[in-house]
Structure 1
Amino acid sequence: MRSSIVSLLALGGSLFQPFSSATPLKVQNEIRADSWPFGPLVTSGRDIKNTQGGNVVYAGANWPGHGEVMIPDGLQHQSIETVVSKIKSAGMNAIRLTYAIQMIDEIYANDGKDTTVKASFTTALGSTNGPAVYAQFLEKNPSFDDTTTRLQVFDAVAAECLKQKIFVHLDNHMSKAAWCCSTGDGNSWFGDTYYNVDNWVRGLSYMANHGKNWPALTSMSLRNELRSPDDNATLKSQSYNWRDWYINIKKGTSAINSANPGLLIFLSGLDFDTYVTPIVQGTSLTPSSDKFSATDFGGYRDKLVLEIHNYQNSASNCNSLQSSLYNSGFQAQNASDPKTVNVFPVMLTEFGFDMRGTTYQGTYATCIASYLKAQKAGWFIWVIAGSYYIRSGTQDFEETWGLLTHDWSDWRSSAYVSSGLKPLAEATAQG
């Protein structure tokens, strides 16, 4: 098996490529319509539907790949198959796989050739640690070799997700590869230091097109946690608003849909994606008087999904927390609410908490779970990662919020997984 994969890599092809990139999308979608994931998926009111008419609800975990190495984390500790199997074993059916625009920028700057994983580890972790961690990566994932590129690792993750029937949602987390997020990191808003809008649109298009070869890929987001560009006072005062949000999200949605019309597209809001209320209620996109309109999205209004994040971990009142979730976005799923102008499916694409101790028994964790169950709403918990290759300058960084232990071998809190995570997945996952 290794020799055949190595031969494919030497030819510069994708590691696992069920479809040629030259295969017409119509043909790809016809094949997918008759087998899992029964795509392309579409929205219908508050629901997401597959080609069989069944509802699809994501119940999954975030899998970071936007850090400096620019491949999915944890693969020096475990194989791709092992990580996906752990996700599957908890009853989850989806991953939110993150990436950085920097990866695509570097491909363009290198005449269309991607960087090898070997080189990327060395660049990110240094001339001593990089090769050492890369050797561990090869030991755990022996189908790869020195010619393997970053995108081929993403290809392999998507292929394993197809094998195990795990939906892939691709999320642009950052422009410059690094830990996310702060208001001063230069990645916060359209036009910020590292957030070149043209490169971002180009990157969305590139990944959407590349994703045609991933049958498990059913959706993409536009951008993770848009936030105030506090490092740029002029940009903040003149552009950080819903008017400029609308201008740019129309560019992003068009780029994805033009490259891959089969994908759902997730729209995130302001203030670290904590609310999307103006979209839901159809109020003015200030400082403009314009409002969100389905006609601005041509024939793909049925591809749009809203997403929000919630980290109100200090919540002490469940009713208050659930009201916050409703008013921040989940109102869009309630067509009977007179204030709901635009009905959408809504997903909680990030929430999470410290996996040590008994935090999972507290108000925040239990209240979030009960709300998602009642709403039959999609979700991605932060985070599957037990550790990161590097985070904020610290290599092999311990992630105490991670579902998995430091070496990704076991659940960090088996008590939470059995009494909280699995029941949540069982009550919500569909498709």
Structure 2
Amino acid sequence: MKLFAVILSLASAVSAIWPNGPLVTDGRYIRDTTGKNLTYAGTNWPGHGEVMVPEGLQYQSIETIVARIKSVGMNAIRLTFAIQMIDEIYANGGQDITLQKAFTQGLGQANGVKILNQVLAKNPRFTAQTTRLQVFDAVARELANQQIYVHLDNHISRGEWCCSGTDGNTWWGDTYFNTANWVRGLAYMADHGKNWTGLVSISLRNEPREATNNARLVSTSYNWQSWYEFMKQGASAVNKANPGLLIFLSGLSYDTYVTPVFEGTNLTPGSAKFSFGDFPGYANKLVLEIHNYETSINSCSSLQNNLFSKGFKAMTSAAKNVFPVMLTEFGFQMDATTWKNTYSTCLSTYLPAQKAGWTIWVLAGSYYIRSGTQDYDENWGLLNHDWSNWRSPSYIQGQFTGMVKNTLS
């Protein structure tokens, strides 16, 4: 019996290898294969812009950026991508396009070549013939090396800055939001990510929202009933392609609420209700996510009440349908004082107290291009313009590092 116990203990030790996946949900918790509760404390690394390559590589190496993330204890990255990237792969006979084409296509010939050369100088493993997905692969590989979970996020269909009500990416059937291509793209990335050690989850769509310039689309399908049908399609495609992944469901109105899902009320205008049975064989893979940008709020109790009623109630026994919930976007200007306001201070205590996962917007100190401006400075970025240091060291030292530690403790 002693020998059996030793063998069992050794087998358990061998199997408990990071990331200890696949992860599953258990009521309000996410658990790994050892049964341990897992909570995300991380940030967003955009890769969905016009170039469709993870940002910042013209300024720093992948290893340097990941080491900076790890230095404050973060354990997760929400890595964004555009469906256009997969569409172009299919249009190119199944082959991804090169970095040379990606940068010139996204930035123009002159500046595209210039920025690409800077990327190659900082990341000499790449060449002009390296593909976009090979860069994603390298980012995922280094995140795994430093034991940081990857959460993929389909941020948009056409590669560009997100989001508005008139960008053509708002809702299924909008100008650039082709439903079949979206399902195909999710399945493609879920399957491709099987080679990423640290990939544990995927969001089906960032910030579904009303198309303010498309009254017909709004009147015919912008509702919870249609949302449910689309989410079931996307979830099924992901699960078939990669059964190991957790699947995040985002709500309406820029993903600010998922109330009907956990309350079990009618998915209007129909009478159907959310049912875990509609996700056969993977009901224990579903997580809810919401976003919150109430940056000017001056009452912590009001902010907490909003977060609870719009999402985090799902983590309690008061919910009809209990889920883990994550705040996958929140953020504010990174300077010496904004982090001291009610919004930031309240979130820094509320989220750890709930043991709720989160990813702050945004890691990026700058973008290759945003809304037509190249080398756009991101004053909400955790990192400074050239990604070499924290933009607001006082925030990192005064609040953020403690928030990470308290979330994960």
> What TM-score bracket applies, with the shorter chain setting the length?
over 0.9
Q: Distance in 2 between matches of 1:122 and 1:185?
A: 22
Render the CA deviation track for 1:385-408: whole Å, top value 9, x for unaligned: 000000000000000000000000
Q: Percent identity?
A: 62
How many angstroms does 1:34 deviate by? 3.5
Equivalent in the alignment of 2:236: 254
Equivalent in the alignment of 1:269: 251
Equivalent in the alignment of 1:204: 186
Equivalent in the alignment of 2:397: 418
- Partners of 1:76 and 1:134 within 8 A in 2: yes
Q: Tell me the amino acid that sits aligned with residue 394 of structure 2.
A: A
Equivalent in the alignment of 2:342: 363
Q: Distance in 2 between matches of 1:31 and 1:202?
A: 38
- Partners of 2:336 and 2:394 within 8 A in 1: no
Q: Tell me the amino acid that sits aligned with residue 244 of structure 1.
A: S
How many angstroms does 1:429 deviate by? 2.5
- Partners of 1:32 and 1:215 within 8 A in 2: no
The within-5 A match list for 1:32-431 is: 33-335=15-317, 337=318, 340-429=319-408
How many angstroms does 1:212 deviate by? 0.3
- Partners of 1:306 and 1:345 within 8 A in 2: yes
SS of 1:272's equivalent in the other structure is helix
Give the alignment's TM-score, normalised by structure 1. Answer: 0.91
Q: Tell me the amino acid that sits aligned with residue 342 of structure 1.
A: N
Q: Tell me the amino acid that sits aligned with residue 239 of structure 2.
A: N
Give the alignment's TM-score, normalised by structure 2. Answer: 0.96
- Partners of 1:388 and 1:399 within 8 A in 2: yes
Q: Distance in 2 between matches of 1:356 and 1:33?
A: 44
SS of 1:198's equivalent in the other structure is helix
Q: Tell me the amino acid that sits aligned with residue 114 of structure 1.
A: D
RMSD: 1.2
How many angstroms does 1:354 deviate by? 0.2
Q: Unaligned regions of 5+ residues in structure 1, if any?
A: 1-29
Q: Tell me the amino acid that sits aligned with residue 308 of structure 2.
A: Y
How many angstroms does 1:420 deviate by? 1.1
Q: Tell me the amino acid that sits aligned with residue 189 of structure 2.
A: M
- Partners of 1:61 and 1:94 within 8 A in 2: yes
Render the CA deviation track for 1:345-365: whole Å, top value 9, x for unaligned: 000000000002300000000
Q: Unaligned regions of 5+ residues in structure 2, if any?
A: 1-11
Aligned residue pairs, count: 398
| 4+ residue segments displaced more than 4 Å | 30-33
Q: Distance in 2 between matches of 1:429 and 1:66?
A: 28
How many angstroms does 1:231 deviate by? 2.0
Render the CA deviation track for 1:282-316: whole Å, top value 9, x for unaligned: 00000000000011000101000000000000100
